């Protein structure tokens, strides 16, 4: 019995990609922040409950340990889950019970759900951020360097997606064209999200943070219609 326990693996470490919401602090005054945050939360009661957050000071804001502790306590009171801080020293973060994230890139999404990478390659202009649950439709090719995010719903692309382009959706992703870039479905953690494409040539596919690189995609599945979904912990790819 004791022998069995010793030989069976008790855990695994796996690299996962996850999309986290960043709370960028544009003021050093927690009271000021909470007034505005409460107004926002009142508009969408329950929507932010349990949302993991990364706290990151804005450009001209510097944080001290006391401020960070006040912030963390206040956020937890409101049902949010601060898990880490970016761009602060380890002492300050650990005093507030947070981990430190390094190399956090620019914000992945702004209020309209669109981002451009390093200021270039704007997402396709015709698409507007959907209301919660609505699908976002893109009819123009998504080119290298462009990024399209369907926040709160599905993403439908009726054109090719180039290598070097990136699709993200909280829900499913459909590509009626060749998918050569990256596609990340269920980026807020929806394990039931799926990716469908007419021709699978992707650099990377991911569902709820579980990903596969192109070299991990069976050659027999490439260049053909495919569906990608999570089966338990495994990312499965089926020919369609």
**Calpha distance 117→121 (Å, rounded):** 7
Q: What is the dihedral of CA 169, 170, 176, 181, to 10 degrees?
A: 30
Q: How far is CA 218 from the centre of its chain?
A: 26
For another protein, the closer of residues 79 and 164 by Cβ is 164
**Calpha distance 134→116 (Å, rounded):** 22
Among 52, 74, 164, 225, binds another protein (CB under 8 A): 164
Pattern 10-39, another protein, x by CB under 8 A: ------------------------------
**Tokens standing for 70?**
């006040």
**Helix ranges restricted to H, the chain:** 2-7, 30-43, 65-77, 90-95
Pattern 170-209, another protein, x by CB under 8 A: --------x-x-----------------------------
Which residue stretch of 6-14, 81-89, 155-163, 222-230 sits at the interface with another protein (rule: CB under 8 A)? 155-163
Which residue stretch of 62-70, 118-126, 220-228, 232-240 sits at the interface with another protein (rule: CB under 8 A)? 118-126
The answer to the question of residue 141 lying near another protein (CB under 8 A) is yes
């Amino acid at each position: 019995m004791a022998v069995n326990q010793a030989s069976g693996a008790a855990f695994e470490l796996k690299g996962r990609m996850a999309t986290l919401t960043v709370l960028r602090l544009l003021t050093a005054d927690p009271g000021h922040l909470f007034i505005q945050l409460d107004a926002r939360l009142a508009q969408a009661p329950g929507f932010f409950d349990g949302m993991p957050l990364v706290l990151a000071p804005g450009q001209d804001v510097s944080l001290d340990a006391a401020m960070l502790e006040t912030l963390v306590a206040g956020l937890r009171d409101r049902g949010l889950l601060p898990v880490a801080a970016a761009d602060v020293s380890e002492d300050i973060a650990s005093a507030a019970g947070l981990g430190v994230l390094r190399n956090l890139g620019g914000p992945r999404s702004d209020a309209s759900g669109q981002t451009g990478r390093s200021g270039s390659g704007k997402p396709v202009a015709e698409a507007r951020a959907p209301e919660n649950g609505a699908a976002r439709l893109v009819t123009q090719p998504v080119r290298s360097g462009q990024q399209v995010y369907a926040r709160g719903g599905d993403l439908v692309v009726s054109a090719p997606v180039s290598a070097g382009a990136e699709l993200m959706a909280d829900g499913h992703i459909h590509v009626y064209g060749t998918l050569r870039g990256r596609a990340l479905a269920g980026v807020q953690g929806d394990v039931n999200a799926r990716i469908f494409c007419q021709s699978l040539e992707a650099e990377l596919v991911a569902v709820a943070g579980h990903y596969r690189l192109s070299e991990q995609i069976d050659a027999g599945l490439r260049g053909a219609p495919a569906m990608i979904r999570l089966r338990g912990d495994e990312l499965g790819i089926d020919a369609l």
